[in-house]
């Protein structure tokens, strides 16, 4: 008979947390690397994986102040779509969706990518015009998106209330059928396992506390809570904390950090077949494979680094959800949490060089970077490996905030902020 001890259970849980029984190495940091990636979220881990798998660069460390995937990667509502308005955004988000489509096979790890469709609701003429504009722009970029009547929307998502008596009646919807959800932890674990297997060092509990520069001003390594680690190139991929880290090299970032919250209900049998988002009432919802309704709120209205937001934000979201789906009114909410998202003035990411030689940054994904994880890692790896942007991330420079060549995706954010 199998005997359980508390210690054995903890060890088993830790193993499971590291990817269903398969542990990666937990190495001591070396004195120096070719490339150091700061932040073991999905983007940092994906970057390390593509550095190794595409560019053959394996003398790489990913440094994480907590545990891998413990930042926004493990806190988001996992919506994946590429229905963005501008060509530059369609380029990167569609690149990501295509990588998502083969990711479980590529990593040999089930990231549970489920293309169940993302439906965005229209409640007024402005929504109709804006969503239709997105549909036309998307199609020109080869991105699927289609218009639905309220009846077609209800066919696609039976719990949706399309009564004309609603305060914000549903008057149509845009549907991206290739959109969907994935399992966020598995994405971090899958990339970590695959990068580790190629020789990348993933070092947890290792906070970067300083950026060191050589006599020529170029980056020479990072100060950490586990000592100095030398590096030829450093890529900062630290979501809500980018400004803090970049200020260590006196680089001022056009970023504000806000709490963003989500919550889940008690688990129930499958009742909700797709993802539904509404910008006007501000609510979005899907159902996880565990059965929980996954519901997201907007950002708080003030900047903060606390991974906790105001309760009134979540209650407002639940009011909106119940207008659209009254049948959920008696469900109990199980738990809520927050993450810190990094928002740029044009709501588009920054991926590329900084004024400091050897220092690169990938940030500003705000409320919507989970969907970009594979695409972001892929192009950032190219940038770190070659010193030049991939053509897909070339428009997303830090420079654009000096030149004014912004990529104003505010309308596509789908989350109130
Ligand atoms: P993270 O996963 O946050 O990783 C950054 C890592 O850097 C962290 O692990 C952190 O600990 C580490 N770090 C920070 N400082 C240091 C330091 N000094 N030294 C070492 N390590 C450091 N996006 C979508 O596309 N769809 C969604 O449905 C969606 N929903 C969301 C819902 C919520 C509630 C939240 C909070 C976000 C949501 N997002 C969504 C956004 C998405 O989660 C993020 O854009 C994305 O996960 C960012 O990934 P990342 O790897 O850059 O950051
Ligand atoms: O970008 O689709 C999105 C999103 C949904 C919830 C948070 N972000």
Whether residue 337 sits in one domain with residue 269: yes
Mean pLDDT by 10 residues, the chain (417 residues): 49 49 76 97 98 98 96 97 96 98 97 98 96 97 98 98 94 98 97 97 97 97 98 97 97 96 96 95 93 93 87 89 94 95 95 98 97 98 98 98 91 62
Ligand 1 close to Cβ of residue 365 (< 6 A): yes
Give the per-residue pLDDT at 298.
Answer: 87
CATH code of residue 349? 3.50.50.60
Q: 265 and 208 in one domain? A: no
The answer to whether residue 16 sits within a structural domain is no
Exposure string (b/e) for 278-299, b if CB count within 10 Å is 16 or more? bbebbbbbbbbeeebbbbbbbb
Mutate to test the pocket of ligand 1, among 89, 235, 238 (most ligand atoms within 8 A of CB): 238
Burial of 303 (0-12, 13-18, 19+ CB in 10 A): middle
pLDDT, residue 21, reads 44
Domain shared by 355 and 369, yes or no: yes
Do 271 and 320 fall within a single domain?
Answer: yes
Residues 264 and 132 in one domain: yes
Residue 46's pLDDT is: 98
Q: How far apart are CA 216 and CA 377, in angstroms?
A: 29
Place of tokens 């970029």: 141
pLDDT attached to residue 25: 83
Instruction: Say if residue 207 is in the same domain as residue 322.
Output: no
Q: Final residue of a domain: which of 343, 358, 373? A: 343
Is residue 56 included in any domain, yes or no? yes
pLDDT at 23: 61
Does residue 409 belong to any structural domain of this protein?
no
Give how many domains the chain has, as a whole number: 2
Can you give the length of the chain in residues? 417
Query: How much distance in Å is there from the Cα of 201 to the middle of ligand 1?
Result: 20
Q: Are residues 149 and 35 in the same domain?
A: no
Interatomic CA distance for residues 276 and 16, integer angstroms: 31
Residue at 9 is within a domain: no
CB atoms within 10 A of CB 46: 34
Residue 417: its pLDDT value, please? 60
DSSP 8-state symbol, 80: B
245 and 290 together in one domain:
no
Sign of CA dihedral 29, 34, 221, 202: negative
pLDDT score, position 416: 64
Domain of residue 129: give its range. Answer: 114-179+257-343
Asked if residue 125 is part of any domain, the answer here is yes
pTM for the model stands at 0.95
Burial of 184 by CB count in 10 Å (0-12 exposed, 13-18 middle, 19+ buried)?
Answer: buried
Are 131 and 122 within 8 A, CB to CB? Answer: yes
The verdict on 161 and 267 lying in the same domain is yes
**Last-in-domain residue among 326, 343, 360:** 343
What distance in Å separates the CA atoms of residue 378 and residue 53, rounded to the nearest whole number?
A: 10
Q: Does residue 238 lie within any of the structural domains? A: yes
> Based on the domain organization, do 32 and 162 belong to the same domain?
no
Residue finishing a domain among 325, 343, 361: 343
What is the distance, to the nearest Å, from the Cα of residue 118 to the centroid of all Cα atoms in its chain? 16
Pocket residues for ligand 2 (CB within 6 Å)? 77, 79, 81, 284, 296, 367-368, 414-415
Same domain, residue pair 170 and 211 = no
Residue 130: other Cβ atoms inside 10 A: 18
Is 8 within a domain?
A: no
Distance 205 CA to ligand 1 centre (A): 17
If asked whether residues 193 and 158 sit together in one domain, one would say: no
């Amino acid at each position: 008979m199998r005997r359980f001890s508390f210690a054995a259970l903890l060890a088993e849980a830790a193993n499971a947390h590291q990817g269903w029984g398969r542990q990666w190495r937990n190495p001591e940091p070396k004195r120096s690397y070719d490339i150091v990636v700061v932040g073991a979220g999905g983007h940092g881990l994906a970057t390390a994986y593509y550095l190794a798998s595409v560019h053959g660069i394996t003398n790489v460390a990913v440094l994480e102040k907590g545990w891998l995937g413990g930042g926004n990667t493990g806190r988001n509502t996992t919506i994946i779509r590429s229905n963005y308005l501008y060509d530059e955004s369609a380029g990167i988000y569609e690149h990501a969706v295509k990588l998502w489509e083969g990711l479980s096979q590529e990593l040999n790890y089930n990231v549970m990518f489920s293309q169940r469709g993302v439906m965005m609701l229209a409640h007024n003429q402005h929504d109709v015009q804006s969503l239709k504009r997105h549909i036309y722009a998307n199609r020109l970029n080869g991105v699927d998106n289609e218009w639905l009547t309220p009846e077609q929307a209800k066919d696609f998502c039976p719990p949706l209330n399309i009564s004309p008596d609603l305060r914000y009646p549903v008057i149509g919807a845009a549907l991206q059928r290739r959109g969907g959800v994935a399992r966020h932890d598995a994405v971090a674990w899958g990339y970590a396992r695959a990068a580790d297997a190629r020789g990348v060092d993933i070092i947890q509990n290792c906070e970067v506390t300083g950026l060191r520069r050589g006599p020529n001003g170029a980056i020479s390594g990072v100060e950490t809570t586990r000592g100095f680690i030398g590096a030829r190139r450093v890529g900062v991929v630290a979501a809500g904390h980018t400004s803090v880290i970049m200020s260590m090299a006196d680089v001022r970032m056009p970023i504000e950090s806000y709490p963003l919250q989500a919550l889940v209900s008690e688990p129930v049998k499958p009742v909700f077949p797709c993802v539904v988002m509404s910008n006007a009432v501000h609510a979005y919802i899907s159902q996880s494979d565990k059965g929980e309704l996954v519901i997201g709120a907007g950002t708080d209205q003030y900047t903060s680094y606390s991974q906790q937001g105001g309760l009134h934000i979540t209650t407002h979201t639940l009011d909106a959800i119940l207008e659209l789906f009254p049948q959920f009114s008696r469900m109990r909410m199980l738990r809520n949490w927050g993450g810190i998202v990094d928002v740029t003035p044009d709501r588009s990411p920054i991926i590329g060089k900084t004024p400091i030689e050897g220092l690169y940054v990938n940030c500003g994904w705000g409320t919507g970077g989970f969907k970009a994880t594979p695409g972001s890692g892929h192009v950032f790896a190219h940038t770190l490996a070659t010193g030049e942007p991939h053509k897909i991330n070339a428009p997303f420079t830090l420079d654009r905030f000096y030149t004014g060549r912004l990529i104003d995706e505010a309308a596509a954010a789908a989350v109130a902020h």
